[in-house]
Amino acid sequence: MDRSILVPTRKSRTEMLSFIEATINGILMGGLYGFIAVSLSLIFGVAKIVNFAHGAFLMVAMFLVYWILVLLKIDPYVSAVLAAVFLFFFGYFFQNVFIEPILRREKETAPLTVILLTSGLMLVLENVALLLFGADYRMVKTSYTGKVWDIGGLLIVQPRLIGFILSLFLIFLTEIYLRKTNLGRAIRATSQDREAARLMGIDDYKVYKVVFGIGSTMLGFAASFLVPFYFIHPAIGELFVLKSFVIVVLGGLGSISGAFLAGIIVGLIESLGAQFINSAMVESLIFIIFIACLVVRPTGLLGKQRE
Amino acid sequence: MARKPILPCVALLAAILFPIFVRDPYFLHAAIMTLLFGYLASSWNIIGGLAGQHSFGHSAFFGIGAYTSTLLLLYLNVPPLLGMIAGGLLAAAMSIGIGYPCFKLRGPYFALSTLAFTEIFRVVVTTTEEVGSINLKGAAGILIPLRKGNSFVAFQFVEKAYYYYIILGMLLLILLIYSLIEKSRWGLYLAAIRDNEEAARSIGINTTFYKMLALFISAFFGATAGTFYGQFLLYIEPILFSSALGIEILLIAIVGGAGTLMGPFIGSLILTPISELTRTYLGGTYAGVQLIIYGGVLVAVMMFAPQGIVPHVAKRYRALLKGGRRPR
Amino acid sequence: MTFFEIKDLQKNFGGLVALRDLNMTVKETEIVGLIGPNGAGKTTLFNVITGVYRPRHGEILFKDRNIVGLRPDRICHLGIARTFQIVMPFHTLSVLDNTKVAALCRTKSQQKATQSAKEILRFLGLEEKVHIPAAHLTLAQKKRLEMARALATEPQLLLLDETLAGLNATETEGMIETVRKIRVERGVSILAVEHVMRAVMKISDRVVVLDQGQKIADGPPQEVVRDPEVIKAYLGDEYAHA
């Protein structure tokens, strides 16, 4: 399963150039990983909900964007807003119907229940998609698919760069929202101390709903950034969810910049690693680093220190 | 306080007589798979139910068992029964390396790290073509040559009834082992660790040691299931290591009731026949439908009976299908 | 022999100093009250003593042995037991099993452990509840169970963390009596974190006061309660010189 974009090769390409290129493309892809991880970090960090279906939500959004493009000929960057809105309601629905009742049953609930519930949801979403859309790998062709910018001999894949920049922008917006608005402050308060926030009159269930909605919305955007150059497949959620959790943990819980940075690091490792070993082994490399990290420094690279 | 164990006895009798009355190889096959997954989920139950460490990575041991005995058979002519033990011991040894980092983590981090291990195994087995002169055959999987006739040494039987009784015996064995552990003082330690690890440490329990011990035993038996699977289906592939299977094993045990004796088997009794049925009637897309149902069942159980079906039913009717330290 | 002594203890959390220059002792069969405003570091101290946290530096001597760096279960075997501020019973187990699993710390025989557990439960007035799941007890009963569990490990030093929090007047009296009984009938030394001043006064031989991680007073209850530093810590400057 080769997921790396085919960059057109030139004959007289120096090793150095291709190394730098891999670095840049790794960072760009990593930025998108980071963006997806940030959406997970919000939900995981604030609401303490382990949503294993996070990747499946992304998959749903990607198919939505895909079909809008194929059937309605609307460009993914345009339909991004539509996807984001749809995902907001999609996420809101799931949170309301499935997750909140369990959270409210607080006395009996082991945190594992939510993990298992969302695992079940993931299985259902993935396999319904498999049934409806089949197991083919799809790729789209837009005006800029496969197009590259030549910057001083370095080939930068266009959609990746655009996606990176837009992701950065959206994360910036989110940070502002969290710091400046009332709801944003309520969210930060809840993530730091649920009890204290409640005592201050914050309805934490409402916060969870909003956070879930925001996280899902980000996925909607992420989907439209990915579709122009990534493949679309029902099982793609699995790929992303594990990677996203790895990134969130590496970046440290509760840290948005940490998650983004860790995403870039993972993107870098993938891209540079692929130069030396085959792509499947690169995946394991990431998991091995993940496990090593957890053992040595459970609070992540940039997370809040505990003890 | 002994209640006349009528229901279990009848069930056992029915299980023993099943192959005599049901000759259709298709049904026998489904029954064998049901027992196998009940056995596999029960092996998980020791670390997952008794000790409360919900590992998503049990498939790693399953795969290790399958590959070890198969490779030993194909390259060194080791009889699968011995290979089964070897696989079990190897898996148990590896469980120490897996448990050590993973047990440092709690809750979702623990789950994620066990999941990560299965993926590591799967990828390694898929991409490694050859180790020395041993060919792992990667994603294509390994076929075990068919032998004619019934043989315990070769562990292959033309008549499915042999497989049936063997796996039934294995299931009864693991249930016995589970029961013995549960009633012993180690069972109490594990229950304490499950309920509150910090408090358990404060009363003198070396929690790391007991968790590793439980995992060791779980891994051993999980691997033996892998050998049986290989010898039954005569084909093994890296997907046996997958995180999907890891989730499935946990799912079966949890739906039935983790931490109860019969829970995992009941879980398999409910879910495996569905899987077999969909495979037959829906052909190519069977995998998808089976998992939709599994996923749906998991969601329903988590929402309405999070302890699992057995405790839920037991609570309602106070029937004694399970043994256990649940006070009356 | 030094029964229990803390020397120059310091505990940090990142940049935050939770415990600083801490020196104190507990003598055999003594009851020492540990008080101080919220956030003073009392529970942190318990966690360091029982091996849950490692201190930045310092020594903790128990029966002449430095227990810093030992695992919590080892420390329990050596003879220090504790209760928790928020009760942590084994909720799927019965009252008896909760206590029995602790008793197994001292014996390998399940029979002996059961006997030992029953005796302790009787001592704490829980003998009627032995087969009830721990989750179904009232708060006061859960606190007694927590004590039973700690006592079942046959400790020589018992660390009690706010055992009286959340109890009504009758339950409080009962608990105070029980703590007294523990020292008298079982010869156990007790170090008790407590906010209920009345109880601390009544039962402590000596009181240690912590404020912001440091010891600011150490002496008989009547003296400590009049110490201006202590009053200042709780009520602020104005009251100290009233």
The radius of gyration of chain B from alpha carbons, rounded to an integer in Å, stands at 19
Q: According to the model, what pLDDT value does residue C1 have?
A: 83
Helix (H, G, I), strand (E, B) or coil at C68: coil
Domain ranges of chain B: 24-241
CA pair distance C100, C102, nearest whole angstrom:
5
Distance (Å, rounded) from C-alpha B86 to C-alpha B65?
Answer: 8
Q: Residue holding tokens 């400057």?
A: C237
Between A144 and A82, where is the model more confident?
A82
Confidence at residue A149, expressed as pLDDT on a 0 to 100 scale: 74
Residues facing residue C158 across a β-bridge: C81, C190
Q: To probe the interface with C, which of B103, B190, B203 has the most C CB atoms within 10 Å?
A: B203
Chain B residues 153-212 with CB within 8 Å of chain C: 184-185, 188-189, 191-192, 194-196, 198-207
What's the CATH code of the domain at A164? 1.10.3470
Rounded CA-CA distance B194/B202 in Å is: 14
Give exposure, A24-46, as e/b (b: 16+ Cβ within 10 Å).
bbbbbbbbbbbbbbbbbbbbbbb
Give the count of Cβ contacts less than 8 A between chain A and B: 122
Given CA atoms C102, C107, C113, C115 in this order, what sign does their dihedral have? negative
Task: Tell me if chain A has a CB within 8 Å of the CB of C14.
Answer: yes
Q: Is the pLDDT of residue A254 over 70?
A: no
Task: Indicate if the pLDDT at residue B281 is higher than 80.
Answer: no
CB C220 within 8 A of CB C201: no
Q: Residue ranges of the domains in chain C?
A: 1-78+157-180+189-242, 80-154
Interface test with B, best of A40, A49, A51, A112 (most B CBs within 10 A): A112
The percentage of residues in chain C with a pLDDT greater than 70, rounded to a whole number, is 97
Percent of chain C with pLDDT over 90: 58
Residue C158 CB contacts under 8 Å (≥ 6 apart), including other chains: C80, C81, C82, C83, C150, C151, C182, C188, C189, C190, C191
**Tens-place pLDDT, residues A59-81:** 999 999 999 988 888 888 888 89
| B87 has a pLDDT exceeding 90 | yes
Mean pLDDT, residues B267-290: 80
Q: Is the pLDDT of residue B232 over 90?
A: yes
Within-domain flag for A139: yes
Q: What are the DSSP calls for chain A, one per residue?
A: ---S--PPP-TT--HHHHHHHHHHHHHHHHHHHHHHHHHHHHHHHHH----TTHHHHHHHHHHHHHHHHHHH---HHHHHHHHHHHHHHHHHHHIIIIIHHHHHSGGG--HHHHHHHHHHHHHHHHHHHHHHH-S--B----TTTT-EEEETTEEEEHHHHHHHHHHHHHHHHHHHHHHHSHHHHHHHHHHH-HHHHHHTT--HHHHHHHHHHHHHHHHHHHHHHHTTTS-B-TTHHHHHHHHHHHHHHHH-TT-HHHHHHHHHHHHHHHHHHHHHS-HHHHHHHHHHHHHHHHHH-TTTTTSPP--
- Distance to chain A for C187, nearest Cα, Å: 35
Task: Place A305 in a pLDDT band, splitting at 50, 70 and 90.
Answer: very low
| pLDDT of A37 strictly over 80 | yes
The CA-to-CA distance between both ends of chain A, in Å, stands at: 41
Tokens of B190: 């594990």
pLDDT bucket at B60, cuts 50 / 70 / 90: very high
d(CA A139, CA A231): 5
How is residue B130 written in tokens?
Answer: 């050859």
- B288 vs B53: which has the higher pLDDT: B53
- Residue A303: per-residue pLDDT: 44
**CA-to-CA dists, residue C21 to C109, C227, C233, angstroms:** 44, 20, 18
Local structure of residue B151 (DSSP, 8 states): B
Query: In angstroms, rounded to a whole number, what is the distance separating the alpha carbons of residues A222 and A33?
Result: 9
Do residues B36 and B232 touch, judged by C-beta distance below 8 A? yes
Q: What is the pLDDT of residue A153?
A: 66
Q: What pLDDT digit, counting tens, does each position of B99-120 carry? A: 988 888 877 778 888 988 888 8
> pLDDT value at position B96?
95
Q: Is the alpha carbon torsion for B169, B174, B180, B182 positive or negative?
A: negative
Find the mean pLDDT for residues B180-190.
95
Residue with the larger pLDDT of the pair B225 and B125: B225
Our CA-based measurement puts residue B19 at a distance from the nearest CA of chain A, in whole angstroms, of 34
Chain-chain contact of C88 with B196 (C-beta, under 8 angstroms): yes
Q: What does the mean pLDDT of chain C come to?
A: 90
- Dihedral of CA A213/A216/A222/A227: which sign? negative
pLDDT at B256: 94
pLDDT average, residue stretch B297-307: 89
Nearest chain C CA: its distance from B312 CA (Å): 15
- Spacing of C-alpha B284 from chain mean position: 26
Inform me whether the pLDDT recorded for C163 exceeds 80: yes
Residue A107: the pLDDT is 57
Query: What's the CATH code, domain C1-78+157-180+189-242?
Result: 3.40.50.300
What average pLDDT does this structure show over A123-152?
81
Task: Give the three-state DSSP class for C33.
Answer: strand
**Chain B closest-CA separation from residue A82 CA (Å):** 28
Task: Report the sign of the C-alpha dihedral through residues B216, B222, B225, B226, in that order.
Answer: negative
Measured from the Cβ of residue B234, the count of other Cβ atoms closer than 10 Å reads 15
C31-35 and C57-62 strand pairing:
unpaired
Residues of C in contact with B325 (CB under 8 A): 92-94, 97
> Domain range holding A273?
16-296
Query: What's at C12, amino acid-wise?
Result: N
In this prediction, residue B320 carries a pLDDT of 53
Count, residues in chain B: 328
Cα–Cα distance for residue pair C151/C160, rounded to 1 Å: 11
Both tokens assigned to B125 = 């087995």
Residue A150 reports pLDDT greater than 60: yes
CA distance, residue C161 to nearest chain B CA (Å)? 13
At A257-304, the pLDDT tens digits run: 888 999 999 998 888 888 777 767 777 788 888 878 777 766 554 444
Per-residue confidence (pLDDT) for residue A290, from 0 to 100:
80
Q: What pLDDT score does A50 carry?
A: 82
A195–C contact, CB cutoff 8 A:
no
Q: What is the pLDDT of residue C109?
A: 92
Q: How confident is the model at residue B315 (pLDDT cuts 50, 70, 90)?
A: confident
Mean pLDDT of B60-76: 93
- Of the candidates B110, B51, B275, B49, the one whose C-alpha atom is nearest the C-alpha of residue A115 is B110
| pLDDT over 50 at B84, yes or no | yes
CA distance C184 to A166: 72
Q: Which residue of B has its CA nearest to A135?
A: B285
Report the pLDDT value the prediction gives residue B116, as an integer from 0 to 100. Answer: 86
Please check the confidence at residue C192 and state whether its pLDDT lies above 50: yes
pTM score, two decimals? 0.87
Query: What value does the mean pLDDT take over residues C108-125?
Result: 93
In the prediction, which pLDDT does A109 show?
Answer: 56
C211: which strand partners?
A: C214
pLDDT, residue A114, reads 86
Question: What confidence score (pLDDT) does residue A301 get?
Answer: 47
- Say what the pLDDT of residue A306 is: 39
Q: Is a pLDDT exceeding 80 seen at residue B285?
A: no
- State ipTM: 0.90
Residue C74: in which H helix or E strand, if any? helix C72-78
pLDDT of residue A307: 31
CA pair distance A204, A187, nearest whole angstrom: 8
Average pLDDT score over residue span B228-252: 90
Name every chain B residue with its beta carbon within 8 A of the beta carbon of A116: 250-251, 254, 298, 302
Choose among C172, C232, C211: nearest CA to C36: C211
Per-residue pLDDT band at A5 (split at 50, 70, 90): low
Mean pLDDT in residue range B284-302:
82
Residues 6+ apart with CB under 8 A from C121: C95, C96, C99, C127, C129, C130, C148
**What average pLDDT does chain A have?**
81
